[in-house]
Amino acid sequence: MTYLTLDRILEMPAKVSYSPGDARVECYGLELAIRNRDLVIFKYLWTDFYNLWGEKHFAFVLDKVLQEGDWDAGLQLVFRSKTSRLIYQALSPEDKDNFLVSKIVDKITDHDFWEIAARSPIHVNQALVHKVITELSYDPYGPFAVLKFPNLF
């Protein structure tokens, strides 16, 4: 398997092929707002139209915000907004655990994820991990996160 270098990746056109049902397809507007670091429109789309979004959109949006690196406002919005809380609270206890593990904690602890899946030039630094853990300590994630990953806190 040949890995692409960062320079090669940056030269590639920013096109994503059509794939129905893909979170990226459905979150295109949100992705645009996140890439622009446009908190106002991001908040408008994410919170005002809360009934449009679900678990996979939450995970996708979190991915994109984490990839932005030091965008604290975006990170806080993702974790603290009404939409995210509603989505998380609507999950069953088992799904909550799975979501925490696969969609959040794995992403901030697993180095391979960033190397292979994301290929982002912005590496997850300790500060970003600390921010995410801080957000996880708040309600409604706190009780599950503390029980599941006591070593993180």
Partner 1 sequence: MPREELQDNSKLLKIINENLKEASSFSESEDDDLDFTATKQVPQPTVKLKSQFTKETDSLLAHMASKLRASIGLFGEILGILKEGDTPLRVKALLHNIVKSPPTSLRDEKWNLVHHAIHLRRLETLRYLLEDQGCNVVMALRQTPPSEEYEYVVPSRRQYDILPREEHKMTHEESKSMMLEEEREWP
Angle between helices 55-67 and 72-80 (to 10 degrees): 160
Task: Decide if residue 150 touches partner 1 (CB under 8 A).
Answer: no
Task: Decide if residue 86 touches partner 1 (CB under 8 A).
Answer: no
**Contact letters (x/-) for partner 1, 25-64, by CB under 8 A?**
xx-xx-xxx-xxxx-xx--xx---x--x------------
Residue 52 or 146: the one with the smaller Cβ distance to partner 1 is: 52
Shortest Å distance, C-beta 29 to partner 1: 5
Residue 34 and residue 65: Cα distance in Å, rounded? 7
In our burial notation (b when 16+ CB lie closer than 10 A, e otherwise), range 128-148 reads bbebbbebbeeeebeebbeee
Task: Decide if residue 147 touches partner 1 (CB under 8 A).
Answer: no
- Residue pair 141/135 in contact by the 8 Å Cβ criterion: yes
Residue 38 and residue 35: Cα distance in Å, rounded? 8
- Residue pair 120/114 in contact by the 8 Å Cβ criterion: yes
Task: Decide if residue 73 touches partner 1 (CB under 8 A).
Answer: no
Among 10, 73, 90, 146, binds partner 1 (CB under 8 A): 10
**Binding residues vs partner 1 (CB under 8 A):** 4, 6, 9-10, 12-20, 22, 24-26, 28-29, 31-33, 35-38, 40-41, 44-45, 49, 52, 67, 117-121
